[in-house]
């Protein structure tokens, strides 16, 4: 660096006074030499590694590879932990803690002498939470995505971690899977390091990072176990040092045009509906205007180019061998804002000029897509005044225009208690309505919208129904599922007053979700409705319930929207 004072870390390490002594001396117990404190960019490695987050279990090793790259480029690497969010284990849902992890990330970055940031991410919420936190500080930042598992193999067929989860009840009820079969399958489905290997939320968020320009080009598709993942991690360590020298901050990369690129790319790969909530929250932190309707306007007409579960038949490993996201980005060039800046300081288009497709059954073209219009559809109507969403590429065509009687479950507990009762009044034309699973209601908005069908319908070979809730759905799941109904039932949205036997109309083509009762009846029911008592009255969860915004706003905490920047006015003495 020509001017050491340009480094934020110089405020801690640059003085030969009392505070310079204090800041340097305790770090000396790690054996750092003088030159580490004399103008080297200090790079914080934000690590979401945890043994409680199996998808991120390899990031401890990846951090060492990133450090190697930072040192090679003349930086000073300092690794720090933040709260890790494992979708597969945490109760009641990791979404409840996404905003808490973002606070952890934000304050850890701001409070320490860091000039640039490397985010080590993997499982679903570790990606958006750390990006949200980093955006609120706005330093040069690069993302190192942990990568998907290798393809699952079970009795001669490929199976996807994540997607297999949603088939277990069907396998037990129809295919006669025994307990031993289940145990064998669960080992085969998760046979390497990495996160779920379908285009679930983890792969979607990694893809989003690359489309936004936050990763090195080609990084997001590489499986975790592939040696090229470590190669890119090392190169990312080198690159962040140069980003600090160039002052290439998040706010210079995350423009409105970059968010539009992410929406288009998500549609083309058949990505998760969870992208909507996370991308909206990230935009809110960096100060970009992004509305729920933008996901429909910008992305709904985009064709599906990737034949991958849950919208197709292949897995992430196949996608990578076919050319990966680089091929998709090159093919999407006519639909993208190509001059957006990426972390390598090149325009988006320039990063993918040499991409080659090696399997057109995995990755297709704009002229011959797997589906003509695959983007997320945003619904409006009296049942979702502020909107709801559906993923057409994962839904049943015959149910995209449907009118049926509501079968209502007031909570997840109510659903579990009654769904398999033989006397439950439900058939293939019914509409399952699940309440109380929104941001405030659960609390935390869990991935339960794609609830299992009753045993008696599965036995008849029925594998899909229209399902409506104020919750989310795993990106690894499929079905005709309406999600993110806003306002949620717990705050008195129309969903709260739906009754068994009410007729509901879903018309995806015309973006309509309608409860077929009179306006007088609707107002009468709302007047008689009383809000439920909060489930928790202390700690972070109480704060979350009090301040979380609705799904259409990104479900961030209202006081976290925006940022505080990187300046800390007061020292520790």
Residue 157 has pLDDT above 60, yes or no: yes
Between residues 95 and 165, which one has the greater pLDDT?
Answer: 95
Question: Which token pair is 515?
Answer: 């409860």
Cα 281 vs. chain centroid, distance in angstroms? 11
For strand 481-486 and strand 466-469, is the pairing parallel, antiparallel, or unpaired?
parallel
What are the residue boundaries of the structural domains of the chain, listed by start? 377-532
Phi then psi dihedrals of residue 482, to 5 deg: -95, 125
- pLDDT tens, position by position, 539-555: 999 999 999 999 999 99
Helix H or strand E segment including 188: helix 179-189
pLDDT higher than 70, residue 171: yes
Give, in order, the Cα–Cα distances in Å from 515 to each of 169, 376, 406, 410, 526: 30, 21, 9, 17, 13
How far apart (Å, rounded) are the C-alpha atoms in residues 13 and 5? 11
Nearest CA among 77, 57, 341 for reference residue 217: 341
Highest CATH level, class, for 377-532: alpha beta
∠ CA 98-558-511, nearest 5°, is 80
CA distances from 282 to 83, 161, 262, 290, 508 (A): 18, 27, 12, 10, 27
For residue 40, pLDDT over 50 is answered with yes
- % of the chain with per-residue pLDDT over 90: 88
Whole-angstrom distance, CA of residue 490 vs CA of residue 533? 9
Q: What is the mean pLDDT of residues 189-218?
A: 95
d(CA 18, CA 35): 19
Q: Which residue has the higher pLDDT, 195 or 179?
A: 195
Residues pairing with 447 in the sheet: 472
Q: Check if the beta carbon of residue 554 is closer than 8 Å to that of residue 548.
A: no
Q: What whole-number distance in Å separates Cα of residue 440 and Cα of residue 435?
A: 11
Nearest-angstrom CA–CA distance, 347 and 213? 9
The closest alpha carbon to 317, from 450, 436, 222, belongs to: 222
Q: For residue 205, what is the enclosing H or E element?
A: helix 201-212
What is the chain's Cα-based Rg?
A: 24
Determine which of 139-143, 165-169, 224-228 has the lowest per-residue pLDDT on average. 165-169
pLDDT over 50 at 4, yes or no: no
Task: Quick: pLDDT tens for 458-487.
Answer: 999 999 999 999 999 988 788 999 999 999
Reply yes or no on whether the pLDDT at 397 is more than 90: yes
Evaluate whether 272 touches 389 at the Cβ level (below 8 Å): no
Question: Residue holding tokens 């549609």?
Answer: 267
Q: Which of 185-189, 197-201, 276-280 has the highest mean pLDDT?
A: 276-280
φ, ψ of residue 512 in degrees (nearest 5): -120, 135
Please enumerate in sequence order all residues whose Cβ is within 8 A of that of 85, keeping only pairs 6 or more positions apart, or say none.
48, 53, 94, 97, 98, 101, 123, 124, 125, 126, 129
Q: Tell me, what's the pLDDT at 5?
A: 52
CA distance linking residue 526 with residue 492, whole number of Å: 7
Q: Of 99, 80, 54, 169, whose CA–CA distance to 543 is shortest?
A: 99
Q: Which helix (H) or strand (E) holds 80?
A: strand 76-81
Does residue 504 carry a pLDDT above 70? yes
Residue 175 in this model has a pLDDT that exceeds 80: no
Q: Flag whether pLDDT at 145 surpasses 50.
A: yes
304-313, 412-421, 488-497, 517-526: the lowest-pLDDT one: 304-313
The yes-or-no verdict on residue 160 having pLDDT over 70 is yes
Contact (CB, 8 A) for 262 and 140: no
Q: At 21, is the secondary structure helix, strand, or coil?
A: helix
**N-term to C-term CA, the chain:** 28
Rounded alpha-carbon distances, angstroms, from residue 206 to 127, 210, 220, 397 = 7, 7, 5, 28
What whole-number distance in Å separates Cα of residue 358 and Cα of residue 85?
Answer: 35
Q: What is the mean pLDDT of residues 267-290?
A: 97
Strand partners, 379: 388
Residue scoring higher pLDDT (312 or 188): 312
Mean pLDDT computed over every residue of the chain: 95
Residue 446 dihedral angles phi and psi, to the nearest 5°: -75, 170
Task: Look at residue 301 and tell me whether its pLDDT is greater than 80.
Answer: yes
Identify the pLDDT of residue 166.
64
pLDDT number for residue 52: 96
In angstroms, the CA 556 to CA 546 distance is 12
For residue 278, the model assigns a pLDDT of 98
| Lowest mean per-residue pLDDT among 152-161, 280-289, 486-495, 527-536 | 152-161
For residue 52, how many other CB atoms are within 10 A of its CB?
Answer: 12
State the CB neighbour count (10 A cutoff) for residue 532: 15
Question: What does the block give as tokens for 164?
Answer: 């297999």
Phi, psi of 252 (to 5 degrees): -85, -20
Q: Say what the pLDDT of residue 482 is.
A: 98
Whether the pLDDT of residue 386 is over 90: the answer is yes
Per the structure block, which two tokens stand in for 69?
């790259």
Confidence bin at 1 (pLDDT 50/70/90): very low
**478 Cβ neighbours under 8 A, 6+ residues apart:** 163, 166, 310, 311, 394, 395, 450
Q: Is 559 left (phi over 0), alpha (psi -120 to 50) or beta?
A: alpha
Q: How far is CA 133 from CA 99, 109, 192, 409, in A?
A: 9, 8, 29, 36
Residue 499 CB neighbours (<10 A): 12
């Amino acid at each position: 660096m020509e001017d050491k004072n340009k480094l934020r870390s110089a405020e801690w390490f640059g003085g030969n006074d009392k505070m310079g002594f204090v800041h340097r001396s305790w770090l000396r117990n790690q054996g750092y030499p003088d030159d580490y404190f004399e103008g080297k960019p200090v790079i914080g490695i934000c690590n979401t590694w945890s043994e409680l987050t199996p998808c991120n279990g390899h990031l401890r090793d990846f951090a060492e590879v990133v450090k190697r790259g930072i040192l090679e480029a003349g930086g000073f690497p300092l690794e720090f932990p933040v709260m890790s969010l494992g979708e597969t284990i945490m109760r009641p849902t990791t979404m409840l803690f996404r905003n808490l992890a973002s606070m952890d990330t934000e304050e850890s970055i701001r409070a320490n002498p860091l000039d640039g940031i490397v985010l080590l991410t993997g499982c679903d919420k570790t990606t958006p939470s750390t990006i949200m936190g980093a955006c609120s500080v706005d330093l040069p930042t690069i993302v190192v995505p942990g990568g998907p598992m290798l393809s699952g193999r079970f009795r001669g067929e490929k199976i996807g971690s994540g997607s297999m989860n949603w088939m277990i009840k069907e396998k037990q009820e129809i295919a006669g899977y025994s307990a031993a079969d289940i145990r064998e399958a669960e080992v085969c489905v998760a046979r390497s390091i990495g996160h779920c290997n379908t285009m679930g939320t983890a792969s979607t968020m990694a893809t989003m990072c690359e489309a936004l320009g936050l990763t090195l080009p080609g990084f997001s598709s590489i499986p975790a176990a592939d040696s090229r993942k470590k190669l890119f991690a090392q190169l990312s360590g080198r690159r962040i040092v140069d980003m600090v020298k160039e002052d290439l901050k998040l706010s210079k990369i995350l423009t409105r045009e970059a968010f539009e690129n992410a929406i288009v790319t998500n549609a083309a790969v058949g990505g998760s509906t969870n992208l909507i909530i996370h991308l909206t929250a990230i935009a809110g932190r960096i100060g970009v205007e992004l509305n729920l309707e933008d996901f429909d306007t910008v992305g709904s007409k985009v064709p599906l180019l990737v034949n991958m579960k849950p919208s197709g038949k292949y897995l992430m490993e196949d996608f990578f061998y076919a050319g990966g996201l680089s091929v998709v980005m090159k093919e999407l060039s006519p639909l993208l804002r190509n001059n957006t800046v990426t972390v390598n300081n090149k325009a988006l288009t320039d990063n993918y000029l040499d991409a080659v497709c090696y399997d057109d059954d995995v990755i297709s073209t704009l002229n011959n897509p797997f589906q003509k219009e695959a983007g997320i559809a945003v619904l409006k109507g009296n049942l979702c005044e502020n909107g709801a969403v559906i993923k057409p590429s994962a839904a049943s065509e015959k149910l995209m225009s449907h009118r049926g009687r509501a079968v209502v479950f007031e909570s997840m507990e109510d659903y579990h208690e009654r769904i398999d009762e033989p006397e439950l009044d439900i058939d293939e034309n019914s509409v399952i309505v699940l309440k109380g699973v929104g941001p405030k209601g659960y609390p935390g908005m869990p991935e339960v919208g794609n609830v299992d069908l009753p045993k008696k319908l599965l036995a008849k070979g029925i594998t899909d129904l229209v399902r409506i809730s104020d919750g989310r759905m795993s990106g690894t799941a499929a079905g005709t599922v309406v999600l993110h109904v806003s306002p949620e039932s717990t705050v008195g949205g129309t969903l709260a007053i739906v009754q068994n036997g009410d007729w509901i109309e879903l018309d995806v083509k015309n973006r309509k979700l309608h409860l077929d009762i009179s306006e007088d009846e609707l107002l009468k029911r709302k007047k008689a409705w009383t809000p439920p008592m909060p489930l928790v009255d202390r700690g972070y969860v109480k704060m979350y319930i009090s301040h979380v915004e609705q799904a259409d706003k990104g479900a961030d905490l209202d006081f976290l929207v925006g940022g505080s920047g990187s300046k800390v006015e007061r020292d520790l003495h």
